Structure 1
Amino acid sequence: MAELESPKMMPKSITFLSSLLQRVADSNDLHREFQPQKISVFHGLTRPTISIQSYLERIFKYANCSPSCFVVAYVYLDRFAQRQPSLPINSLNVHRLLITSVLVSAKFMDDMYYNNAYYARVGGISTIEMNYLEVDFLFGLGFNLNVTPNTFHTYCSYLQREMMQQPSLNLAESSLNLGRSLKVHLCFNEDETSHQQQQLAV
C-alpha cells in the first residue's frame, strides 16, 4: 500500500477515542463470563495483535476521511451498542466494528471516499468480509445514520472534556455509576439532549 505523501498528525480527540474504546473492550472482556454475549460476523477467533490505538492510527492515516467522520463513527458505535446489548464491544470485535463504523461514516459524511475494497485493505480483511460487515452494521443501527448538529456537538464536547479533565477515567466504574454497563459510553440520551438544547435556545 502506498504511503501518503505527507504524514498527518492524529487529533488528540481521536487518540482519546482509541483509549476509550480500549477501556470499553477491556471492561467487557471481564464481564464476558457473567454476561451472555452473542457471536457475530464482527468477532474474530483470536484477539488481534495490533492495538486499538495503532489500528485507529492506521485508519486515520490511510482512509483520508475528515476528522468529523471519527466523531460520527463514535456516535454510530454508541448507537450500535444500545441497539445490540447482546453484542457488547470487546477485544474480539472492536477492530471490525471500528473499521466498519468509519467506512459507513465516511460514506454518509464525505463527498469523496474510498470504496469497500480499499477499506478492506486498510482494515486487514477481505473485500467480501467488508461488504458483509457493512450490511450487518447498517441493520444493527436500524439504518439510523443521521447525526444532528446537537448530537455531534455533545459527543465532541464529551471527548474534549474527558480528554482534559479525566485522562485516567475508569470506564467500568463510570458505566456502572451511570447504569449503562457494557455500553460504549452514553451519559446522555440524544433526544433528551437535543430537547434541552432547544429549550436553552428559546
Structure 2
Amino acid sequence: MSKLITFLSSLLQKVAESNDVNRRFHPQKISVFHGLTIPTISIQSYLERIFKYANCSPSCFVVAYVYLDRFTQHQPSLPINSFNVHRLLITSVMVAAKFLDDMYYNNAYYAKVGGISTTEMNFLEVDFLFGMSFHLNVTPNTFHTYCSYLQREMILQPPVNVAESSLYRTARSPKLQLCFNEEESTQQQQQQKQQLAV
C-alpha cells in the first residue's frame, strides 16, 4: 500500500506541475477546489495523512483515482494543478469510501483530516459529484483495468511517463491523453462473452 501511495502522489505531483505550466497557455477555470495559495504540505504527505486517518479500504484509493480521471474528463477546463490537487484528493477518497465501504466517517471527520472546514467539505463533495455527473459505479472490469495499469506503472518505476497518464493534458491538445478507455474495455468484455457463448 505504501508503494501505491508513493506512486499516486508522484503521478499527481507531475500532473499538477505540468498543468501549472500549461496554465499560461490554456485558460483554466477557478472552482471551489482551488486554494488561494499552494498548500505547504506535499501531495505525498497529504495522501499519507489521508491513508493514516481515513481508515478506508485500500480499494478506495484505486476508485478515488478512477473518480479523479472521470472528473478531469467531464471537466476539461478544470485540470488538476497545485492549487486544487489536495482538495480533489480528499474529496475523491471520501466519495470512494462512502460508495465502497460499509463503514465510513462523516464529512466533519474528513474535513479535519483534510485541514478544511466542514462547510467547505460539503461544498466540495457536491461539486465533485456534479462534476463527474454522479458516475460513481466502477465495474469489476474497470477496477481491474485501473489496477493493472497502476501495477504495471509501479513495476516500471521511476514514476510514470506523464504523457501516458489520463490525468495529463498536453499543451497541443485540450483533450485528455487516455491510458485506456472504459467503453472500449466494456466492448472487449462483451465480445469475449459472445465468443464464449459460441
Do they fold alike, i.e. is TM over 0.5?
A: yes
Which residue of the partner structure matches residue 199 of structure 1?
Answer: 191
Matches within 5 A, 1:134-153: 134-153=125-144
Change over 3 Å in CA distance of 1:180–1:156 after alignment to 2: farther
Which residue of the partner structure matches residue 3 of structure 1?
Answer: none
Look up the SS of the partner of 2:189 in the other structure: helix
Q: Give 5+ residue unaligned stretches, structure 2.
A: none
Distance 1:180 1:77 in 2: 19
Cα deviations by residue, 1:126-148 (Å, 9 ceiling, x for unpaired): 00000000000000010010000
Cα deviations by residue, 1:69-104 (Å, 9 ceiling, x for unpaired): 000000000000000000000000000000000000
| Kept in 1: contact 2:10–2:159 (CA 8 A) | no
Deviation of 1:189 after TM superposition, in Å, equals 1.1
Matches within 5 A, 1:179-198: 183=176, 186-198=178-190
Distance 1:12 1:181 in 2: 31
Deviation of 1:195 after TM superposition, in Å, equals 1.5
Look up the SS of the partner of 1:34 in the other structure: coil
Counterpart among 102, 115, 121 of residue 130 in structure 1: 121
TM-score when normalising by structure 2: 0.90
| Kept in 1: contact 2:64–2:93 (CA 8 A) | yes
| Kept in 1: contact 2:108–2:118 (CA 8 A) | yes
Deviation of 1:176 after TM superposition, in Å, equals 6.7
Which residue of the partner structure matches residue 44 of structure 2?
Answer: 53
**In the alignment, structure 1 residue 110 sits paired with structure 2 residue 117:** no
Look up the SS of the partner of 2:25 in the other structure: coil
TM-score when normalising by structure 1: 0.88
Look up the SS of the partner of 1:117 in the other structure: helix
| Kept in 2: contact 1:43–1:96 (CA 8 A) | yes
Distance 2:9 2:175 in 1: 17
Deviation of 1:18 after TM superposition, in Å, equals 1.0
Matches within 5 A, 1:56-135: 56-135=47-126
Amino acid at match of 2:59: S
Look up the SS of the partner of 1:53 in the other structure: helix
| Kept in 2: contact 1:83–1:141 (CA 8 A) | yes
| Kept in 2: contact 1:172–1:181 (CA 8 A) | no
Identity %: 78
Tell which deviates more after alignment, 15-24 or 91-100: 15-24
Deviation of 1:166 after TM superposition, in Å, equals 4.3
Deviation of 1:14 after TM superposition, in Å, equals 2.6
Which residue of the partner structure matches residue 147 of structure 2?
Answer: 156
Q: Give 5+ residue unaligned stretches, structure 1.
A: 1-9
